[in-house]
Amino acid sequence: MIRCFKAIVYISNCITMKPSRYVSDIPSSDGYFRSWHRKNKTDWAGIGIADAYKPNLEYQIRIPAQQKLLAMLKKIRSTISGITGVIRSNDSGFVKMQIGPFYSNYPAVAAAHAALGLTSILEYRQQVPDMILTKYITRIRELVLLDKSPNVQDAAMENVIQQVTNAVQARLILEELSRNNIHSAEIYRLFAASQNSLQFCFLNDIVHTVIVYGNILPSLARVDLHPTTKAIFRALMPISAYYNRKLERTGLTGFIELGIHWASETCLALQDFLTATGVSQDYTLDQLLDHIPPLDSKQPPTLMNQDDVATFISRNLSKAKLQGIAPTNPSAEGKTMQERITKLAATFNEASGQQSKSEDMRTDLVEKALRSSAFQQGPMEGTPASGHEVSVDLGGDKLLTGEIHDRPLELSDDLSKLDMLMSEARPLIQDIKKVLYPNIITVTEKQKLCTSGSLDVSRLAMASFSSAIFKRYPTRSVTDRGGRPVLLIACDASGSLNAKQIRLLKILTLAWIGSTTKTEIKLISGIYHSGMVRQGLDTPLVQWIYHPKKTPALDPRDASRAIISLPDSGTGAQHDSLSISYMVEEAASIAKGRMIYLILLSDCQWNQSFKTEKNGQQEVDAMFTYLNEKYANTLHTTLIGLGVQVKQPVFDKINKVILISQQEIDSTTTVAKRINLYVANSIRERRLSK
Amino acid sequence: MIRDMKNYDYNLDNHQLGYHSWPKLYHDELLLLIDRLNAYDTLRMKLMKKGGSFPEMEELANILRMEIPIKADHLPECSLMNQKALKRVLSYYENGTLTLDVRQQDYGFPVYYLCKVQDDYHCTYNSVLQDFYVSPGYTFHDNRLIKLMDYGHQMIYLRLSPFREKLIHVEKAEINANIDKELSRIGSQVLQYAWHEDQNIGIFCSDKFGLPDFRCAIELVYLCLTADLCDLRSNIDRLFLTFFSQVYEQPAIHGFLTSIQNSNDLPILELQDKAKHNYTHLLKAFNKLLACSVCWGNSNQKIPLYKLVFANMFRLDMIWEDIKDNAAIKQAACNLEETALTCIHEINTMNK
């Protein structure tokens, strides 16, 4: 335990190499020079895992912190594999990093460990399904039914069995992980306990408090509780104390048996509180409408885990024997009442909920979600996605605005798979390397001044001492082979692409990325489709394979590992014009006026992104018109149609199109031929353009 | 109407490229919103504390739905329920410095915090300069720092607003016209470096366990290690010293500012080395406190204090009552305070 504590305290002080930062000296008011970027803690304390998701820090700090966090996660995964004996051939199928704690108000260092802890708990549960108590719920149910009071409703008891089993299971997993030196799990227990509001509105809260974190919360004598809540605590405490002592002496093999008895005894102890006693007083609907008890008043716990107004009112309504209000047999009046309650709750939830999809999930909502499902999958997992607003002119009256999220793709460690794919891409890399990507630069040329009319009188005065009068210096754009253009590879990875198309997409992306090694070309590469950004939010999504400011890969070659992380067939629904516009905007922010070469890999089944009269194809057509105007002379687009045979009107807006039909997709030689042709064509064009 | 004349302002402050007109909101319009928030919270608190009737509950929902009559061209209709429109309207108040933070409380009720913020693009944290409205039940876990939504991300802000009134009072209204500027100057020159989100474990413990010198020492060490001391010295004036002696009473920082102000030859490197050295000492002393064992729970099981602290981060006062008489903790807390005092003394006497 002490080691665990030291880990928390010292982890933020681990010193890592600071990345070089842009420093621009500006004079301060009194002559001292200072940097634009003022110092912060990481300058003297180094970068630790606590800095992984701090939005106030720059990406140069967050990315190394995320890499450290990922390295720790990998160690934990391998420890869990050691415990469970499950060996994975590749790194797919692991539970995603649970990053919810980072977005809470909890101190960042401990939150980082809590995030690792929750991930390890879920990973363990996934790897050893046989060790999970919920698999033995039938036995628990049998034991409970033996002694169940007839007054207790079956549905209520079933609910209790589920809640108790989950709590005991969490306790057993925490014990097992702690015994194997995965201390982050214990930190997560502390984090979960800190999120407990001590209000005990739900039976689930009480059960978890007693079984999982009963020994670390404040004395309940200091908390103002409802008499029923107090009675439940009194009934459950001795059982938990007994089994906690027993657990310390029990080996891993005895956990399940112990858990079954612990859960069943706890359920039986709770049955006295589940007996339907009814309310002696009869209310009419009007009477009840006139009296709602104070919302802050201490209420007995409920089985339901909802705390909205509708639940509160319904709970108080159900106490009364009201004619017609019962959900099973509602009268017209009762129905109206229920509608009013639902409308009320919806208003409060809308006014207090998350309104903009593109914003980060709010801290209070993250905490609420973590509180309600402490040992379950959290509201945010994997790599966090940032929301962005994109404006596109599709030829209407005004700019259209859409919301899109982006995040980096996780890097795979499955090097054998990468080697296999690379061997298929290698011939193409050799070909594509020959393509020239000239940049556009503006040069000032000296020309002899030959006026067609009278001389510029303003220059005549200088004639005696300056030769400038006989020269002029026009500027013009020329191609520059030594420049640093930006190569943007945008891949459609939506569900409309089948396994063959995705395989070819991976090979071609790998080939284009490979062709940029040892060159001055700046690469940005990503896939676009739609996906789950956080619980309940499925939006258009760009996942970066390589982005100099957003991905953890060291260089484009390292970024090839991200391609292996892609599933074998496409997922989600793409929003073409929104996603491509966003990716081009990102490329433009890196290019800063230099040339952008867009390589677009798609099956050309364009989807609609905006609520306009245009269909998907018309939208993409209008978008390319807009982009070509906006980035005049600095955007060159190549489209690779995967499984496309028929020419579309949009192809006229695209500089180069390579079509690979469905029949040709399997044939590597045909694809190579097409690429060869494209390369030869490009070389010819770009040489001529010089 | 006066409002109509005010609503259009040819604003050159932020738009140096040319004339740009937009509706501009003033305090009168803001009062409409504050009145609405007041009406909502009064009824909400009545229902929370005393209960009420179902029609009252519906009345509460109606307050959220009702349009707030802020009228000007180009402004959308807004209500408390439509946060997007409301935030857009608020962006027209004084060059877009208003922020409305909404949080979900028990039973799904929204609670509000309306404040004026100041962006400082060269600093890690932006600042909150003035509180306009805080709903009952809106909690600040850390009085110094707050998370607010900024361009889609939950960013941390320095909360300077609690010092506003006191600073005006101390400076006897001379500062009134420049209060925003002066507050943000103190924020960006000193508090930006003295306050940090990673300090919160220490700050919570020092506040709840009664360790004032530890708190002073933490902030001083961070200031020494993070600030550009030459720049800081050149900016110290009477207001800075008044602020740290009378408004935000921080004797350690006050002493430090006084000492570097009077120092002709500022030993920056030595000062930072000393601060780093003391930071390690402070950390060790704090670790010793957190490592103390206490008997806890029904079974009187011995557990280390750090577990109680991390499990009760936002309610430390509830555990302090039960552990304050523990001899080991008393001793460790005493040692920590001594270490903190030594740290403050060593840093503040270096320039003398």
The model's pLDDT over A423-445, given as tens digits with 9 standing for 90+, comes to 888 888 877 877 767 766 667 77
Residue A494 per-residue DSSP state: S
User: CA A101, A105, A111: angle at the middle one, nearest 5?
Assistant: 35
Nearest CA of chain B to the CA of A345: how many Å?
8
- Cβ pair A604, A621 in contact under 8 A: no
CB atoms within 10 A of CB A600: 24
- Kindly state the percentage of chain B with pLDDT values over 90: 57
| Highest mean pLDDT out of A425-439, A449-463, A645-659 | A645-659
pLDDT above 90 for B289: yes
Q: From chain A, pick out residues whose CB is under 8 angstroms from the CB of B108.
A: 307-309, 345, 348-349, 352
> Is the CB of A398 inside 8 Å of chain B's CB atoms?
no
Q: Can you list the alpha helix ranges (DSSP code H) found in A85-183?
A: 108-127, 137-147, 154-179
Burial class of residue A433 in the structure, from the number of CB atoms within 10 Å of its CB (0-12 exposed, 13-18 middle, 19+ buried): middle
User: A155 CB near a chain B CB, below 8 Å?
Assistant: no
Tokens of A443: 């040069």
Residues of A in contact with B332 (CB under 8 A): none
User: pLDDT for A232-284, tens place per residue?
Assistant: 999 998 898 889 888 888 888 888 899 999 999 999 999 888 865 443 344 55
Rounded to an integer, what distance in angstroms lies between the CA atom of residue A379 and that of residue A354?
A: 13
Judged by CB atoms closer than 8 Å, whether chains meet at A351 and B226 is answered as no
| Among A175-179, A616-620, B9-13, B328-332, the range of highest mean pLDDT | B328-332
How far from chain centre, in Å, is Cα A452?
Answer: 65
Q: Which of A92-106, A329-343, A459-473 has the lowest mean pLDDT?
A: A459-473
Q: How confident is the model at residue A336 (pLDDT cuts 50, 70, 90)?
A: confident
3-state secondary structure of A492: strand
The stretch A51-58 carries a mean pLDDT of: 89
Average pLDDT score over residue span B151-174: 88
As a whole number of angstroms, the distance between CA B180 and CA B95 comes to 14
Mutate to test the interface with A, among B147, B199, B203, B290 (most CBs of A within 10 A): B147
Name the pLDDT band for B17 (thresholds 50, 70, 90): very low
Range from A207-216, B175-184, B302-311 carrying the lowest mean pLDDT: B175-184
Look at residue A491 and give its three-state secondary structure. strand
Mutate to test the interface with B, among A53, A215, A291, A343 (most CBs of B within 10 A): A215
Contacts of A561 (CB under 8 A, 6+ apart): A411, A412, A413, A415, A418, A553
Q: Which of B63, B86, B66 is nearest to B76 (CA)?
A: B86
Interface test with B, best of A40, A233, A348 (most B CBs within 10 A): A348
Q: What is the DSSP string of B240-268?
A: HHHIIIIIS--HHHHHHHHHHHH-SS--H
Interface check for B328 against chain A (CB to CB < 8 A): the answer is no
Residues 6+ apart with CB under 8 A from B121: none
Provide the pLDDT for residue A55. Answer: 86
Torsion of CA A17, A20, A25, A30, to 10 degrees: -10
Q: Give me the phi and psi of A511, to 5 degrees please.
A: -65, -45
Per-residue pLDDT at A678: 80
Residue partners of B241: CB distance under 8 A and separation at least 6: B254, B257, B258, B261
Amino acid at A644: V
State the pairing for strand pair B78-79/B110-118: unpaired
Q: What's the distance, CA A409 to chain centroid?
A: 10
CA distance A676 to A667: 14
Instruction: Provide the 10 A C-beta neighbour count for residue A3.
Output: 8
In this structure, are strands A656-660 and A635-642 parallel, antiparallel, or unpaired? Answer: parallel
Residue pLDDT, tens place only, B71-124: 766 778 889 998 888 888 888 877 668 899 999 988 889 999 999 999 887 788
Does the CB of A200 have a partner CB in chain B at under 8 Å?
no
pLDDT at A223: 84
pLDDT of residue A469: 61
Closest of A528, A544, A505, A421 to residue A90, by C-alpha: A421
* Closest in A34, A56, A105 to B124, CB measured: A56
Distance CA A522, CA A332 (A): 68
Cα-Cα end-to-end distance for chain B:
63
Assess contact for A242 and A262: CB atoms under 8 A.
no
List the single residue in B with minimal CA-CA distance to A201: B106
In the predicted structure, residue A51 carries a pLDDT above the cut 90:
yes
| Contact residues on chain B for A292, CB-CB shorter than 8 A | 47, 51-54, 56-57
Look up residue B121 and give its two tokens. Answer: 């693009």
Cα separation, A85 vs A87, whole angstroms: 6
**pLDDT value at position B16?**
36
Instruction: Output the pTM of the full model.
Output: 0.82
Who among A28, A241, A347 is closest to B65 (CB)? A347
* Interchain contact, A349 vs B156, CB within 8 Å: no
Which residues 161-200 of chain B have a CB within 8 Å of chain A? Answer: 192-193, 196-198, 200
Q: In a 10 Å sphere around its CB, with 0-12 CB exposed, 13-18 middle and 19+ buried, how is residue A611 labelled?
A: exposed
Confirm if A412 and A128 have CB atoms less than 8 A apart. Answer: no
CA A184 remoteness from chain centre: 21
- Residues in chain B, overall count: 352
Does the distance separating the beta carbons of A36 and B107 come in below 8 Å? no
Considering A421-430, A459-468, B15-24, the range whose residues carry the highest mean pLDDT is: A421-430
Q: How far is CA A40 from CA A16, A61, B8, B211, B224, in A?
A: 15, 11, 41, 25, 11
Cα separation, A208 vs A372, in Å, equals 11
The reported pLDDT for the residue numbered A451 is 57
CA–CA separation, A210 vs A267, rounded Å? Answer: 13
pLDDT at A5: 45
The burial class, CB within 10 Å (0-12 / 13-18 / 19+), for B196 is: buried
Q: Is A417 left (phi over 0), alpha (psi -120 to 50) or beta?
A: alpha
Q: How far apart are CA A493 and CA A576, in angstroms?
A: 11
pLDDT over 50 at B19, yes or no:
no
Q: Assess contact for A598 and A499: CB atoms under 8 A.
A: no
Instruction: Please report, to the nearest 10 degrees, the dihedral formed by the alpha carbons of residues A452, A457, A460, A462 taken in order.
Output: -130
pLDDT in tens, A495-546: 888 888 888 888 889 888 888 887 778 889 999 999 888 777 888 999 999 9
